[in-house]
Structure 1
Amino acid sequence: MILYLCEKPSQGRDIGRVLGATSRHEGYVAGAGVCVTWCIGHLMEMVAPDGYRPEWKSWRLDTLPIIPQQWQLELTARGRKQFKVIQGLLKGVTEVVLATDADREGETIGREVLERCQYRGKISRLWLSALDDASIRKALGNLLPGEQTEPLYQAGLGRSRADWMVGMNLTRAYTLLGRQGGYAGVLSVGRVQTPTLKLVVDRDRLIENFKPVDYFEIFALHRVHSGTFIAKWVPPPKPCDAEGHCLDRTLAETVIHKVQGHSGTITKAETKRVKEPPPLPLELSTLQQEASRRWGMGAKQTLEIAQSLYEKHKAVTYPRTDCRYLPSNQFKEAPAVLQGLTTNDASLTPLVEGADAQLRSKAWNDKKITAHHAIIPTAAKINIDALSREEALLYDLIRRHYLAQFYPPFEYDRTVIDTQVAMETFHATGRVELIPGWKRVLAANQEKKEGDEDEQTLPVVRSGEAATIEGAELKQKQTKPPNRYTEGTLIQAMKSVGKLVEDARLRKILRETSGIGTEATRAAILETLIKRNLLAKQGKKSLVSMPAGRLLVDALPHSVTDPATTAVWEQTLDDIAHGGGSLETFLAKSELWLNKLIHNVHQRQQLGLNPFRGLPPSTSHTDPAQPTPRRQRRSKAEVTPTPNAAPLCPQCGGPMLQRKSPQGAFWSCAEQATCTGTRPGSPLAAHSPLMQPNPERGPLCPKCQQAPLVQRTAYRGKNSGQPFWGCQRYPQCRYTQASQTTES
């Protein structure tokens, strides 16, 4: 028997139908000699820290870094039942066909199940890009050997393990620093989310520090033998800013008086025929950008809608793609796809009839294909009326971009006229549209590019011809700051982040790997930043950075916030996926890097340097004992963050939170699940017996009574190199104590 292992139930039923496996059972479908079963996404997850060592459950700086010696996975609660089904079906099969999504994540989902079941038989790979019957049959006829895609699994392991190490350790470390500074929220850190957060922080600060500057433009009405046109003054470089704006009003007014009513000469008259090819079909990030710009859809919402069009309606091909090109062997399928568009929606008939299925646009390029081709409509019959409004909007956008490939270029004549009057230069442009071409399909969807000049029809002139200025107008304008990010423009910034990197080699890597993050993860990353109160939505579209997000970016080392670092990681993972890298080497280097970062946090704590003091309390009360967002049990005692420095727990030495109960305010350990340390609510009660510190941390500071003494080494003066005790709250408390004498 051959077992087909899919990623989702809907995939399994679609593939089973084509294979003739239509007999339904609990967790699988069966037919003659074949069974088709499925995962439910990831059936397993990384074991939490306390699954390795009980002491790792408590969030404490002295337990970091947490690095497992032997990595482990555990079944998710919702995955146990389906795992048992798969485990039972694997007994006695002659071959497994891995039919999960055709990418690194899909490979990992399937392989980790087979590894858990200790399956050692033959593995083949079904590489699917669409779930319509024709695409499934085609893929079934071209199964890949399992060893060809196995490196994707190694890359998937590298990604998940490295992300686990960074997320678990740095999120704990900086959240604990935040708690000691009085911030109750989770300060999450990630190899992609943190550079993304920095993009927004930097943009917001640029906007806030922006000072508008007045600049001046002159528009002059020129008369020539064949008519009139308006040209814009080209100022000399000296009084201009970097963008070429004239900043000198007096100069601009002088020019107006100088040229008004005077004649000059046409120095350049040039007309060129421009043939603009259709825009390429869409990939996920461009779809997300367009959905954000047009309809204010969030990145996650757009992905979910596209996934529904793919899985539920079979209307489009695989959406989590980073490619805007199509394989050449699909060109012959175009007539069937175009016919399917009219069958599904008669209103599209005029546009389909105007298309030429023999036209081959630049989209058909095998050399540009990655793991998946662009998102295009399928030939499957669908019920257009069953689509929701949002599904219909995205579907229409996808099908129009595909349909545009079978229209000729948009053609127009672009004319440039330069004049010189009284030694001053003027410039005019205009265009005349000749052949609409693909604009018939996408004209209503096109966005006017920033900086486009007002279109005008220019008269026919020749170089050397006389031109007279009949009128000139001075316009005062102001420079403007850049726009705030939206989810769409932030995703585009993540893709094009390489332009911010100075190193040419790293910039090239970022360009080749499409920036930071992947098509499948960018939406989730933005969602995490918003849920953790590091970013927030402003109005319908804009994203702004929150105080916690700004301080976190400032506190982290450059290597964590630098997009070049995560780009190098992605390049290394890509090398592993193509068989050119080693998982063990990658993880070893990641561990060394992480050790240095945690050491820096320990040093900062020993010096009493806390960047989060005075941070406004978080509006989120997520329990930091859970590294990933899960449903939390609410405490009977209400947690109240405090802007003042929180005391340390007398039992475990960790941060404490101020809480309210019917008996009044009190302090309790942030790790209530594993530690029962408490103290009275008043800061003056620090002398209470409950506040006797952990002996390993030294005695309680006798001056401030809020923190233990920590041992440090003098670096200057006559006692250089000698150990001494100092308050952990330095520089707020400057108490120090030598071995035998005390200074305060």
Structure 2
Amino acid sequence: MKLVIAEKPSVAKALCPVLGTTIKKNGYMQGNDYIVSWCFGHLVGMFMPNDYGEQWSGKWSFEQLPMFPQTWKFKINSGCNEQFKILKSLMNDRNVSEIICATDADREGECIFRYVYKFSGCRKPVKRLWISSLEEKAIRDGMKKLKDSSEYDNLYQAGFCRAKADWLVGMNASRLFSVRHRIPLTLGRVQTPTLAIIVKRDNDVKNFVKQKYFTVDLNCGNFIAVSERIDDEIKAQSIADMCNGKNAFVSEIKKELKTANPPKLFDLTTLQREANKFFGYTAKQTLDYLQLLYEAKLTTYPRTDSQYLSDDMEQTAIKAVSDVYKAFPEFKNELSYTPDIKRCINNKKVSGHHAILPTEKITVTDLSGLPEEQKNILMLVSAQLLLATSIPHKYENIKVTVNCENILFSANGKTVREYGWKLIEERIKSVLKNKDNIDENNSALPEMEQGQTFNNVSVKKSEHFTAPPKTYTEDTLLSAMEHAGLENYDENSEKKGLGT
């Protein structure tokens, strides 16, 4: 008999119909030569400092520091005794010949299983189920491709190393600063540098001193040409007086055709940022909603850091585009194109999990029954697939330089040559009721030629002020965390910013 251990009951529930475990027992399901049981997240956790003995217990003091466990020890987490006993009994049951780890396919899921496995004293062989979707087809395919648990030893070590780093930094730094400042303080590997980013920005905003500057605006009839920044008001007024009522001419026209490629598919962080921009959801809310969608088999694995697909997913992605238009006919638009799946494929950038995708179940599910928050996230994920597989947006940047009394003024414009993915984005934004939608045609300049003259131009001096940096939103803070410290590394280095 084989014992399958899931990370939580809801995931175990998705496994049972595929494996044929229909008989309900206390803390597990059984049938068809399988037993399916579950954790409740972390059943087993690391010792806290007080658990190690008298040297680190009692009142905190400088003498206790630093704390470096010689051997890392574990304990059953509060409220988890009953389920741990069930798992331990099943693991060591003589009728169980093999264990299948079916916790989430990431380093955290690996640690959740291995902590329990090691703490129970089990030595039986372990296979690993590695799937990115809870759809029945994905589970069946995964069960046919089980790998030996040893192939994921490095993943476990990465997760355990992170846990140890969190312990060493958090426990030692929290005690140090609490004792030094005589108030309870918490510090952490991610928490503290993130707080530093926020505090620095708040100080920059608070201490910002706005500076006045000026420009001279030349009215050429159909457009306004503007001088460079001028800090001296008297000089700005002098230029305005000198040019007012005079003739001007186009001295230079620069045109540059540019291409804006479609955005990438979502990883968790980019989805969290977009959800904050569109709906104001916090990062945690977005993850919670996405986890529920994953457990409902409507989206693929949520905690991914990849924005690409592997090459074996090309046909799946093609079908997914069609499924999105069936599930969300309101996304249909005027753009005629063949989805370009290949731009989303990069095997080298898919390590554990591919980018977040909707599953084929969206076409057979009554999505009107979804809670609003979950439906919003599902629509974002689905819309991103349409954008990512669309065609490039092409436009022409135009810079016109106007000469008046040997003073140069400039005007910039943009003319769209091919809307491409922007047409889909415009439709999606209207569906999602985003008010930031902008018609790019508004920035187009009128047709003109070099040497063209403008007679008796009107000129005015304009006053401006420098603007302070913006206070972080969850969207911009997540971006700052992603890019924290990257300027200190070579561009070819692997870098992740502040992790979680």
1:207 and 2:202 aligned: no
The residue type paired with residue 384 of structure 2 is: H
Residue 553 of structure 1 corresponds to: none
Q: How does 1:574-653 map to 2 (within 5 A)?
A: none
Please state how far the C-alpha of 1:140 moved relative to its aligned partner: 2.6
Show CA shifts across 1:635-667 (max 9, x none): xxxxxxxxxxxxxxxxxxxxxxxxxxxxxxxxx
CA distance in 2, matches of 1:355, 1:337: 17
Deviation digits for residues 232-289 of structure 1 (CA, Å, limit 9, x no counterpart): 213xxxxxxxxxx431111211221222233344233233443322211212212222
* Counterpart position of 1:297: 281
Alpha-carbon deviation of 1:22?
Answer: 3.0
d(CA) in 2 for partners of 1:176, 1:408: 59
In structure 2, relative to structure 1, the CA distance for the partners of 1:171 and 1:59 (3 Å cut) is farther
Give the whole-Å Cα distance in 1 for the aligned partners of 2:10 and 2:377. Answer: 21
Structure 1 distance, partners of 2:436, 2:256, is: 21
Matched, 1:74 2:75: yes
Q: In structure 2, what residue type is equivalent to 1:368?
A: K
% identical aligned pairs: 33
Equivalent position of 1:738 in the other structure: none
Structure 1 vs Structure 2 CA RMSD? 2.7
CA separation of 1:473 and 1:320: change in aligned 2, threshold 3 A: farther
Aligned 1:89-488 pairs, distance under 5 A: 89-90=90-91, 91-92=93-94, 93-179=96-182, 183=183, 186-222=184-220, 228-234=222-228, 245-311=229-295, 313-348=296-331, 350-351=332-333, 356=337, 358-360=339-341, 362-380=343-361, 381-443=364-426, 445=429, 455-468=442-455, 470-488=457-475
Shift of 1:198: 0.8
Instruction: Give the greater-gyration-radius structure (CA).
Output: 1
Residue type of the alignment partner of 1:106: G
Residues 356 and 406 in structure 1, CA contact (< 8 A), matched pair in contact too: no
1:560-571 matches, within 5 Å, as: none
Residues 153-189 of structure 1: CA distance to partner in whole angstroms, max 9, x if unpaired? Answer: 112222212221221222112112222xxx4xx2111
User: Take 1:358 and 1:345, find their aligned partners in 2: how far apart are those partners?
Assistant: 17
State the distance in 2 between where 1:161 and 1:457 align. Answer: 56
CA–CA separation in structure 2 for the residues paired with 1:356 and 1:5:
45
**For residues 345 and 489 of structure 2, what CA distance do their matches in structure 1 show?**
30
For residues 720-739 of structure 1, the aligned pairs below 5 Å read none
Shift of 1:345: 4.3
Decide whether the 8 Å contact of 1:221 with 1:469 is kept in 2: no
SS in 1 for 2:225: strand
Post-superposition offset of 1:387: 1.6
Task: Letter of the 1:160 partner, please give it.
Answer: A
Amino acid at match of 1:229: F
Q: Which runs of 5+ in 1 are unaligned?
A: 235-244, 522-744
Q: Give the total of aligned pairs.
A: 490
In 2, distance between residues paired with 1:429 and 1:483?
A: 25
CA contact (8 A) 2:335 2:423 kept: no
Q: What is the deviation of 1:132?
A: 1.7
Q: How far apart in 2 are the matches of 1:229 and 1:300?
A: 47
Shift of 1:42: 0.5
Give the deviation of 1:473 after TM superposition.
Answer: 2.7
Instruction: Please tell me the residue identity of whatever aligns with 1:17.
Output: P
- Tell me the distance in 1 between the aligned counterparts of 2:98 and 2:226: 72
Secondary structure at 1:42 match in 2: coil
Go from structure 1 to structure 2 and tell me whether the alpha carbon gap of 1:489 and 1:177 turns closer, same or farther (over 3 Å shift): same
Distance 1:123 1:375 in 2: 28
**2:497 aligned partner, one-letter code:** G
SS of residue matched to 1:362: helix
Q: Which residue of 1 aligns with 2:15?
A: 15
Distance in 2 between the 1:467 and 1:362 partners?
47
Tell me, which stretches of 5 or more residues in structure 2 are unaligned?
A: none
Give the TM-score, by structure 1 length: 0.62
Query: What's the counterpart of residue 37 of structure 1?
Result: 37
Question: Do the aligned partners of 2:308 and 2:345 also contact (CA within 8 Å) in 1?
Answer: yes
- Contact 1:334 / 1:357 at 8 angstroms: preserved in 2? no
Q: CA deviation at 1:480?
A: 1.4
Q: 1:343 to 1:162 in 2, by over 3 A?
A: same
Q: In the alignment, residue 50 of structure 2 is paired with which amino acid?
A: D
Q: Which amino acid aligns with 1:77?
A: S
Inter-CA distance 449–53: structure 2 relative to 1 (3 Å threshold): farther
- Post-superposition offset of 1:453: 10
